[in-house]
Amino acid sequence: MLKDLEKAGQQPQGIWKVFVFAQDVDLLPPGTPAKVAAQTVGGVFVASAVQITFDSSQPCPLEAQSSIKVV
């Protein structure tokens, strides 16, 4: 990947931020009727780089879970 960036004229060196997005899996079998499926929680975020805000004038801020220094 770093070589691809260099080929594209990008500088891969520096601080890289890591953003994690993960959610659980809805394990209902395919074909489950919608009214039954709606009673089961699935697809809930278990890790997210997004902080929810209820201020409609502000975007949801992203927060990196980690940083990596590429030299």
Predicted pLDDT at 34? 86
Intervals of the chain under pLDDT 70: 41-44, 48-53, 60
Predicted pLDDT at 15? 92
- Answer yes or no: is 36 within a domain: yes
- Answer yes or no: is 1 within a domain: no
Predicted pLDDT at 51? 66
- Answer yes or no: is 41 within a domain: yes
* Position 2, amino acid: L
- Answer yes or no: is 11 within a domain: no
For the chain, the domain total comes to: 1
- Answer yes or no: is 26 within a domain: yes
Predicted pLDDT at 53? 65
Domain of residue 39: give its range.
17-70
Predicted pLDDT at 52? 64
Predicted pLDDT at 57? 78
